[in-house]
Structure 1
Amino acid sequence: MSKAKAKAKQLKGKMKETVGKTSDDRSMEAEGRGGQVSGKAQETVEKAGERVKRSGHK
């Protein structure tokens, strides 16, 4: 997964959370928060991988 896809996952999660809040759908709200956390974690992994590549390690 790329950083762009991770950011898109975060955005999708934020939208789901917002829709869940406005429609009082706690399940959708929680799913949205989960998507955001997952996207942030994936973004962190991507950044770490880039740092390793720049440092010359495999």
Structure 2
Amino acid sequence: MRLGVRAQAVVASGITSKGPWRSSKTPGINQALSNAYLKSQGLYVLRDGWIKLHYSQ
């Protein structure tokens, strides 16, 4: 809720029986932990690294 996610989405994400990999695609988690947020926290974006590796000239 602190990251702008509605309470209903937070509860739905918290009580799911899905594993972490499958849960990562849910809208509530994607809204709270967006790529921009993760990048601002200093985490490496794998997609950007893959593109740089395969398409750099």
TM score, norm. by length of structure 2: 0.30
Q: TM-score, normalised by structure 1?
A: 0.29
